[in-house]
Amino acid sequence: MKILIASDSHGRSDLLYKAFDTEKPDMVIHLGDLEDNRDIVERELGSPRIPCLFIKGNCDYDSEGKLLRSSVFTLKNHRFFCTHGHLYSVNYNLNGLMYEAKDNDCDIVLFGHIHRPVNEFMDLPFGAGKIHVINPGSIAYPRGGSVKSYMTMNLKDDGAYDIELKTL
Ligand SMILES: [Mn+2]
Protein backbone atom coordinates (compact mmCIF):
# COMPACT_ATOMS: atom_id res chain seq x y z
CA MET A 1 0.00 0.00 0.00
CA LYS A 2 1.02 3.56 -0.62
CA ILE A 3 0.64 6.18 2.11
CA LEU A 4 0.80 9.90 1.39
CA ILE A 5 2.40 11.66 4.37
CA ALA A 6 2.09 15.43 4.48
CA SER A 7 2.12 18.20 7.06
CA ASP A 8 1.88 21.90 7.71
CA SER A 9 -0.19 22.91 4.72
CA HIS A 10 -1.49 25.97 6.64
CA GLY A 11 -4.52 26.50 4.42
CA ARG A 12 -2.88 25.51 1.14
CA SER A 13 -5.07 22.43 0.71
CA ASP A 14 -4.73 22.86 -3.06
CA LEU A 15 -1.17 21.55 -2.67
CA LEU A 16 -2.47 18.49 -0.81
CA TYR A 17 -4.90 17.82 -3.65
CA LYS A 18 -2.05 18.18 -6.15
CA ALA A 19 0.10 15.66 -4.27
CA PHE A 20 -2.90 13.36 -3.93
CA ASP A 21 -3.61 13.48 -7.68
CA THR A 22 0.04 12.78 -8.45
CA GLU A 23 0.44 9.89 -6.02
CA LYS A 24 -2.97 8.22 -5.98
CA PRO A 25 -2.32 6.83 -2.48
CA ASP A 26 -4.28 4.22 -0.53
CA MET A 27 -4.16 6.28 2.65
CA VAL A 28 -3.40 9.87 3.67
CA ILE A 29 -1.77 11.03 6.90
CA HIS A 30 -1.72 14.77 7.62
CA LEU A 31 0.43 15.63 10.61
CA GLY A 32 -1.13 18.93 11.57
CA ASP A 33 -1.55 22.62 10.84
CA LEU A 34 -4.13 21.96 8.15
CA GLU A 35 -5.82 25.30 8.92
CA ASP A 36 -8.75 24.35 6.74
CA ASN A 37 -12.10 22.58 7.04
CA ARG A 38 -11.18 18.96 7.68
CA ASP A 39 -14.48 17.59 6.42
CA ILE A 40 -14.14 19.34 3.07
CA VAL A 41 -10.49 18.32 2.67
CA GLU A 42 -11.33 14.71 3.56
CA ARG A 43 -14.02 14.61 0.91
CA GLU A 44 -11.64 16.04 -1.69
CA LEU A 45 -9.15 13.31 -0.77
CA GLY A 46 -11.73 10.62 -1.38
CA SER A 47 -12.54 9.67 2.22
CA PRO A 48 -14.07 7.30 3.28
CA ARG A 49 -12.86 5.26 0.28
CA ILE A 50 -9.33 6.45 1.09
CA PRO A 51 -8.70 6.47 4.85
CA CYS A 52 -7.45 9.86 6.01
CA LEU A 53 -5.88 10.65 9.36
CA PHE A 54 -5.70 14.27 10.49
CA ILE A 55 -3.60 15.24 13.51
CA LYS A 56 -4.12 18.51 15.36
CA GLY A 57 -1.38 21.09 14.97
CA ASN A 58 -0.73 24.11 17.17
CA CYS A 59 -2.34 26.36 14.54
CA ASP A 60 -5.49 24.26 14.10
CA TYR A 61 -8.59 25.74 15.67
CA ASP A 62 -10.71 22.70 16.42
CA SER A 63 -13.93 23.85 18.08
CA GLU A 64 -15.68 20.52 17.51
CA GLY A 65 -12.82 18.40 18.80
CA LYS A 66 -12.53 16.40 15.58
CA LEU A 67 -8.75 16.36 15.36
CA LEU A 68 -6.51 13.96 17.28
CA ARG A 69 -3.54 15.16 19.33
CA SER A 70 -1.82 11.94 18.44
CA SER A 71 -2.59 8.53 17.02
CA VAL A 72 -1.08 5.10 17.52
CA PHE A 73 -1.89 2.28 15.12
CA THR A 74 -0.45 -0.89 13.64
CA LEU A 75 -0.03 -1.55 9.92
CA LYS A 76 1.75 -4.62 8.51
CA ASN A 77 3.59 -5.36 11.76
CA HIS A 78 4.76 -1.79 12.30
CA ARG A 79 3.53 0.39 15.12
CA PHE A 80 3.14 4.04 14.17
CA PHE A 81 3.10 7.01 16.50
CA CYS A 82 1.75 10.14 14.78
CA THR A 83 1.67 13.57 16.36
CA HIS A 84 2.28 17.17 15.31
CA GLY A 85 5.29 17.62 17.59
CA HIS A 86 4.73 20.90 19.45
CA LEU A 87 3.67 18.96 22.58
CA TYR A 88 7.14 17.36 22.63
CA SER A 89 9.28 20.48 22.05
CA VAL A 90 10.66 19.08 18.80
CA ASN A 91 12.32 22.36 17.91
CA TYR A 92 14.83 21.64 20.71
CA ASN A 93 15.37 17.90 20.45
CA LEU A 94 13.50 14.72 19.56
CA ASN A 95 14.01 12.85 22.87
CA GLY A 96 10.50 13.42 24.20
CA LEU A 97 9.00 12.35 20.91
CA MET A 98 11.11 9.20 20.77
CA TYR A 99 10.32 8.24 24.38
CA GLU A 100 6.61 8.65 23.70
CA ALA A 101 6.94 6.39 20.66
CA LYS A 102 8.89 3.87 22.72
CA ASP A 103 6.30 3.97 25.56
CA ASN A 104 3.67 3.09 22.96
CA ASP A 105 5.78 0.24 21.56
CA CYS A 106 6.13 2.05 18.26
CA ASP A 107 9.01 1.63 15.84
CA ILE A 108 8.02 4.48 13.52
CA VAL A 109 7.21 8.04 14.53
CA LEU A 110 5.69 10.59 12.15
CA PHE A 111 5.62 14.26 13.07
CA GLY A 112 5.46 17.74 11.58
CA HIS A 113 5.80 21.23 13.06
CA ILE A 114 9.45 21.96 12.20
CA HIS A 115 8.74 22.51 8.47
CA ARG A 116 11.76 20.59 7.26
CA PRO A 117 12.06 16.91 6.35
CA VAL A 118 13.59 14.23 8.56
CA ASN A 119 14.08 10.57 7.64
CA GLU A 120 16.45 8.92 10.11
CA PHE A 121 16.81 5.85 12.29
CA MET A 122 17.62 7.42 15.65
CA ASP A 123 18.98 5.75 18.76
CA LEU A 124 17.04 5.99 21.97
CA PRO A 125 19.25 6.90 24.95
CA PHE A 126 20.75 4.07 27.05
CA GLY A 127 20.75 1.58 24.19
CA ALA A 128 16.97 1.29 24.28
CA GLY A 129 16.76 0.62 20.57
CA LYS A 130 16.10 2.58 17.43
CA ILE A 131 13.10 4.54 16.22
CA HIS A 132 12.51 5.48 12.60
CA VAL A 133 11.84 9.21 12.84
CA ILE A 134 10.00 10.70 9.88
CA ASN A 135 8.91 14.24 9.08
CA PRO A 136 7.64 15.01 5.56
CA GLY A 137 8.53 18.72 5.81
CA SER A 138 5.95 21.37 5.02
CA ILE A 139 4.01 21.06 1.79
CA ALA A 140 3.47 24.83 1.74
CA TYR A 141 5.94 26.77 3.91
CA PRO A 142 9.37 25.13 4.01
CA ARG A 143 12.02 26.37 6.44
CA GLY A 144 15.71 25.90 7.06
CA GLY A 145 16.70 25.77 3.41
CA SER A 146 14.24 22.98 2.58
CA VAL A 147 11.71 23.13 -0.25
CA LYS A 148 7.97 22.37 -0.34
CA SER A 149 7.75 18.65 0.29
CA TYR A 150 5.78 15.60 1.32
CA MET A 151 6.63 11.90 1.53
CA THR A 152 5.25 8.64 0.29
CA MET A 153 5.61 5.35 2.12
CA ASN A 154 5.33 2.14 0.16
CA LEU A 155 4.48 -0.56 2.66
CA LYS A 156 4.41 -4.19 1.57
CA ASP A 157 2.40 -6.99 3.14
CA ASP A 158 5.58 -8.50 4.62
CA GLY A 159 6.32 -5.21 6.43
CA ALA A 160 9.13 -4.07 4.14
CA TYR A 161 8.82 -0.40 3.34
CA ASP A 162 10.55 2.55 1.76
CA ILE A 163 10.11 6.26 2.25
CA GLU A 164 10.44 8.74 -0.58
CA LEU A 165 10.79 12.49 -0.20
CA LYS A 166 8.89 14.32 -2.93
CA THR A 167 9.18 18.00 -3.72
CA LEU A 168 6.62 20.25 -5.35
MN1 LIG B 1 3.18 24.59 11.09
Q: What is the pTM of this model?
A: 0.96
Q: What is the mean pLDDT of residues 77-92?
A: 96
CA of 32 to the centre of ligand 1 (A): 7
Q: List domains and CATH numbers for the chain.
A: 2-167 (3.60.21.10)
pLDDT, tens digit, for every residue of 4-42? Answer: 999 999 999 999 999 999 999 999 999 999 999 999 999
How much is the pLDDT for 122? 95
Q: How distant, in Å, are the alpha carbons of 39, 64, 68 from that of 153?
A: 24, 30, 21
CB-proximal residues (5 Å) to ion ligand 1: 8, 33
How much is the pLDDT for 128? 79
How much is the pLDDT for 56? 97
Beta strands of 8-160 (E only): which ranges?
A: 27-30, 52-54, 70-75, 78-83, 108-110, 117-123, 130-136, 149-155
How much is the pLDDT for 66? 84
CA of 13 to the centre of ligand 1 (A): 13
CA of 88 to the centre of ligand 1 (A): 14
CA of 5 to the centre of ligand 1 (A): 15
